[in-house]
A and B are shown apart, each in its own frame.
Chain A
């Protein structure tokens, strides 16, 4: 078997694994296909996800299902105003029996972390998590602890209740690869959810028994590495940069995406190409992931906000105006 065949097989396996992952999540997560696709894409691209949606739409369920399907460890932190950085990263404590300090690792040491309502904690606590996300390591009392791969943070924000919150600064939201909107399900889907959740069930506990582990953490890492090895033509890279630069020149956008946006867009496009079973990236991959990658990196002018425009409106127009590559 030559190298080309190995690569082709790896891509086919990667695509199949991604599809299996999506199928497993879909066992408990009714509808929200786009959200599931974006979360799986983020996992393969090795990026973190900021989820925005009102409470009760299945954000926790989604991450727990993903963690279970990927055979990985899952932790959840409920962000509150009195949450301290050490509550996330961990701390040293004195062990009386052995008369020495030992490290008690925080919830950040896991594969999948759900940071619920991240904007309810002060900036100091937020930045502790965001540093871990960027560096993939945690420093406690001067000692550095690497985080185990794969490491995916899914932070949620409630767009409705903004009182007493600490909105994430732009520099921090930029560290999320994707911003995903979870919207209300359709009538049929809601009917289906209601029936399934209430059928012979007591209480609010999430039933994840239906989700089978289809991957291991090593296989997830392998998927990420396969995606990183896909062929990316120079025209695609130039297209990505053109889109990101256009966000800085667009009227009504006070601040556009930075180079981290270009990097995130290309990585996400690679993951999307792998999920589609292709060994190379095409412009459609870029276009498909661009809204989720760029929407939280744009700051719109006040008048656009007042008139009800959202970054998605701007991105839609922007993508329709940037020339696609023609090699």
Chain B
């Protein structure tokens, strides 16, 4: 650690000033810090996307819990950057074992909910202290330091607000048209992913600021305790004096050299004669008589005079009684104050921890229940029929299993049995089945026959669309016009269908 290369002005700072300096540092290098955070953190939410949907709320909790895994890299980079060494991201990542080694276990377990996490991390990470030594160091550094707890609370609140705002912002900008039908289902299904994305984004924005501010609190505390500023001041003074001494020596050497050179031509130096005592006395009197030295001035100021003793007894026995009561009350308050000073610290820490735990649990519960809540909200518009789920398909069994193997042969058999309508229905069903299951055509249950024809025209070749159009026309006449199709017409249709559809298989 070379204090001379430090990038900040060293001076005693209040915790708020230190945090502010940390934020400024983070802002200056935000791009690198954000990149580091994303590189280390992003794999976790991305991996969660491949897990079942019910795991998503727990996944969000997991991403949040693993923050001490992402933060050390930022701290390491900042610690090097503070002393003028700008490391590339890849170098920082390669040193992961050294960086996260001592901090990972306590950070993820018993120190996960420590309100001073940002302040403690440098002790473990940069000083490499663990166990009793680490604990002692924390006690020394942490004494009288209350900024880290505020920092944690503040960052937690900002992160929550950002995450919620991000999610709400996305929701607000979703067009109302998309809240209907299939798009609404999609939005509902991806709701937990949206929450996760908003939360990760908020964490990534707050994370660098949190780490940098905590680091600056740590640095500020060390400046206070170890007098870095004084040390640096002394070093600079020593350098300045050394420089002056060097210059003086050079001057003296130059003068000596000059004297040696000029000696033969110069007369010897003589001291000026001292004045006589009488002359000197006169001279001193003249100088003292001068206005600068001989001027006398009188100034008047107010001065507080203490109350004379004996005035308290002016009120007699009542005054004595009141005085006694006052002293007794003061004693009681002093005793209470001592007692509170003894307990208030641990009690406050306990209360804060309990509150933070409760807030975390509430957040986890809220996220877990969020999907359920959305479904129960009375904003039901655009969700389709009340209580109606999605329909499977459109009334007709069009799965390949429900159809005979050889459609054309089956149709001809039905024709032989004088059941032309059934033959036509089978042909139509088979066409739909091929289109839906064979070609992946998305035919909604609400599509009419003409809409099916238009879909086929858009997505299939001319042969198939011509065949299907013809088939649909005959089918409409039969189904809705109650017209009996002729055998010859049906034979032609079967032949056209065999040419257009039969060879493909479902």
Identify the A interface with B (CB < 8 A). Answer: 231, 233, 235-236, 246, 249-252, 278-284, 287, 301, 303-304, 307-309, 313, 317, 319-327
Cα distance A307–B379 in the bound complex, in angstroms: 13
Please determine whether B480 and A251 come into contact, CB atoms closer than 8 angstroms. no
Pairwise interchain contact A317-B382, C-beta atoms closer than 8 A:
yes
**Which residues on A sit within 8 Å (CB–CB) of B480?**
231, 233, 235-236, 280-282, 327
- Chain A residues within 8 Å of B449, by CB: 282-284, 324
- A-side contacts of B396, CB under 8 Å: 326
Q: Known interface pairs A323-B446, A326-B394. Does A307 touch B481 (Cβ–Cβ under 8 Å)?
A: no
Q: Return chain B residues, CB-CB under 8 Å to A252.
A: 380-382
Cα(A246)–Cα(B383), bound, Å: 13
Asked whether, in the complex, the Cβ of B383 is within 8 Å of the Cβ of A251, the reply is yes
* CA–CA, A235 and B177, complex, Å: 31
Please pick, from A249, A278, A303, A324, the residue contacting B394 in the complex, using a CB distance under 8 A.
A324
B385 with A246: CB separation less than 8 A: yes
Residue of A nearest to B482 (CB): A231
Q: What residues of B have a CB within 8 angstroms of the CB of A301 in the complex?
A: 381
Taken together as a complex, chains A and B put the C-alpha atoms of A76 and B437 apart, in Å, by 58
Known contacts A323-B394, A324-B445: A280-B384 contact under CB 8 Å? no
Query: CA–CA, A140 to B177, complex, Å?
Result: 51
> In the complex, A215→B452 CA distance in Å?
37
With both beta carbons as reference points, the residue of chain B lying nearest to A327 in the complex is identified as B479
Place the interface of chain B in its size category.
Answer: 20 to 34
Q: Which residue of B lies closest to A278 (CB)?
A: B481
Interface residues of B (CB under 8 A from A): 176-177, 180-181, 380-386, 388, 391, 394-396, 425, 444-451, 476-477, 479-482
A251-B385, A320-B444 known; 6 new pairs, CB 8 Å cut-off, are A231-B480, A251-B383, A284-B450, A301-B381, A319-B446, A326-B395
From A246, A278, A287, A308, give the contact of B448 (CB < 8 A).
Answer: A287
Inter-chain contact B380/A280, CB cutoff 8 Å: no
Q: Report yes or no: B381 in contact with A303, Cβ–Cβ below 8 A.
A: yes
30 contacts across the A-B interface (CB closer than 8 A): A233-B482, A235-B480, A250-B386, A251-B381, A251-B382, A251-B383, A280-B477, A280-B480, A280-B482, A281-B480, A282-B448, A282-B450, A282-B476, A284-B448, A284-B449, A287-B448, A301-B381, A307-B176, A317-B384, A319-B446, A320-B181, A320-B444, A320-B446, A321-B181, A321-B384, A321-B385, A323-B394, A323-B445, A324-B449, A327-B480
Of B180, B380, B479, B480, most buried by chain A (CB within 10 Å of CB) is B480
Q: A250-B385, A252-B381, A304-B381 are in contact. Are A317 and B445 (CB under 8 A)?
A: no
Tell me which residues across on chain A come within 8 A of B447, comparing CB atoms. 324
Task: Give bound CA distance, A217 to B253, whole Å.
Answer: 133
Most chain B C-beta atoms within 10 Å of own C-beta, residue among A235, A252, A324: A324
Give the shortest distance, in Å, between A54 (CB) and chain B (any CB). 25
Q: How far is the CA of A209 from the CA of B476 in the complex (A)?
A: 42
Q: How far is the CB of A314 from chain B (nearest CB, A)?
A: 9
Taking the nearest CB of chain A, how far is it from the CB of B484, in angstroms? 12
Please, which residue of chain A has its CB at the minimum distance from the CB of B451? Answer: A284
Q: How far is the CA of A327 from the CA of B476 in the complex (A)?
A: 10
Q: Bound state CA distance, A317 and B177, in angstroms? A: 10
CB distance from A302 to the nearest CB of B (A): 11
Q: Knowing A233-B482, A282-B476, say if A251 contacts B448 (CB, 8 Å).
A: no
Instruction: Specify which chain B residues have a CB less than 8 angstroms from the CB of A322 in the assembled complex.
Output: 446
Nearest opposing residue in chain A for B478, CB measure: A327
Contacts of B383 in A (CB 8 A): 251
A313 to B180, CA, bound (A): 10
Contacts of A250 in B (CB 8 A): 385-386
Q: Report the minimum CB–CB distance from A32 to chain B (whole Å).
A: 24
| Complex CA distance for A284 and B391, rounded to whole angstroms | 20
For residue A308, which residues in chain B have a CB less than 8 angstroms away from its CB? Answer: 176
Q: A252-B382, A303-B381 are in contact. Are A231 and B395 (CB under 8 A)?
A: no
Q: How far is the CA of A323 from the CA of B449 in the complex (A)?
A: 12
CA distance A283 to B450 in the complex (A): 9
